[in-house]
Every structure is written in structure tokens, then in C-alpha cells.
């Protein structure tokens, strides 16, 4: 059984490995191995993860069974959108998906930002599993971007849900 808790610095290497495995399983067919390696190297390096862990007005969670990290989630208040929390990452190891780990991490993240009125997430349009997950949890499409995340050049649907 996995328990959701706040991540610590000692979790970051396991989170990095989880993100690399999950990203390759999810995105290699869309973007190719080389592009996924580039993005995971930039976005999921230990320094990048540590900076998220230390960010104010943010929450970095892991699902832990005492031996393994099975999932992770990271959300932060937006610097530009008023009363909006941005869900930057919600990933579960492929072999553990559809067991409620993502749901549990997401449920915890929803409660971490009492001043937020909405939650926003960007999702690759071809990632049908993620789109189904977010729609089942109350998100709807509010826009599109051609530059998902941090200067990726990748398209994404922008989904949002009210938190009040």
C-alpha cells in the first residue's frame, strides 16, 4: 500500500528515475527517445527537482510504500494567474498505474492550496490516458499552447477545474 507524503531531498534520486521511466513509457512514441532524453535531462535533473522541493507556495508529494516511490506530484501557485494553482507534474510508474496512486496524490494536492480558486494543467493532446484522468477529475479544456512547460516547443491542451 502506498501512502502520500511530502517529498524530501532523500527522495529526489528515486523521483528522477521514476520520471525518466514514466516519460519514456508515455512520450517516446510521440516525440522520440532523443527529445524525451533532452527534456528529462533538463526538467528532471536533481538540481531541477531540488529547486521544486525548495520553492515557496508549492507542494511536492510522493507515494511511498516504505521501500519504493510509486508516484509523484508537484503543484505550485501561479506567478502570473491570480488564485490559480498549476499542476506541473503528476506521474505514476507505468507498472503501478490504475491502482489509485495518481488519484490519491491528486486528492492531496487539491487540498494544499486553500487560497486557490482553480487548478490548471497542461496535457499533451495525444496522451489520451492523462486526458481521461483529468476529465474524470473535473477538468475541462480552456485553451491550447504550442510551448508546453518551460520552452519545450511541444503542444499541449490547457485544462482547468474550479476548486471552490
pTM metric for this prediction = 0.93
In 3D, which of 94, 53, 83 has the Cα closest to residue 162? Answer: 83
Please check the confidence at residue 147 and state whether its pLDDT lies above 80.
no
Is residue 163 a contact partner of residue 113, using CB atoms and an 8 Å limit?
yes
How many whole angstroms separate alpha carbon 24 and alpha carbon 136? 24
Please check the confidence at residue 17 and state whether its pLDDT lies above 90.
yes
Domain segments of the chain: what residues? Answer: 3-116
Cell of residue 106, nine digits = 491528486
Mean pLDDT over each residue of the chain, to the nearest integer:
93
Strand partners, 91: 72
Residue 158 phi, psi (nearest 5): -100, 120
- Strands in 20-155 per DSSP E: 58-64, 69-77, 84-92, 118-123, 140-145
Structure confidence at residue 146 (pLDDT): 78
Terminal C-alpha separation, the chain:
30
Q: What is the pLDDT of residues 75-120, one digit of tens each?
A: 999 989 999 999 999 999 999 999 999 999 999 999 999 999 999 9
Indicate the CATH number for domain 3-116: 3.40.630.30
Cell of residue 100, nine digits = 489509485
Amino acid at each position: 500500500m502506498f501512502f502520500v507524503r511530502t517529498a524530501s531531498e532523500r527522495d529526489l534520486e528515486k523521483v528522477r528515475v521514476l520520471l525518466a521511466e514514466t516519460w519514456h513509457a508515455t512520450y517516446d512514441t510521440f516525440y522520440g527517445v532523443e527529445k524525451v532524453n533532452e527534456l528529462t535531462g533538463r526538467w528532471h535533473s536533481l538540481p531541477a527537482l531540488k529547486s521544486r522541493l525548495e520553492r515557496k507556495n508549492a507542494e511536492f508529494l510522493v507515494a511511498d510504500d516504505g521501500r519504493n516511490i510509486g508516484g509523484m506530484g508537484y503543484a505550485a501557485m501561479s506567478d502570473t494567474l491570480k488564485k490559480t494553482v498549476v499542476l506541473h507534474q503528476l506521474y505514476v510508474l507505468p507498472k503501478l498505474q490504475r491502482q489509485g496512486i495518481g488519484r490519491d496524490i491528486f486528492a492531496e494536492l487539491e487540498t494544499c492550496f486553500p487560497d486557490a480558486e482553480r487548478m490548471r494543467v497542461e496535457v499533451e493532446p495525444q496522451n489520451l490516458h492523462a486526458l481521461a484522468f483529468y476529465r474524470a477529475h473535473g477538468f475541462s479544456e480552456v485553451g491550447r499552447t504550442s510551448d508546453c512547460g518551460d520552452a519545450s516547443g511541444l503542444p499541449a491542451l490547457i485544462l482547468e477545474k474550479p476548486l471552490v
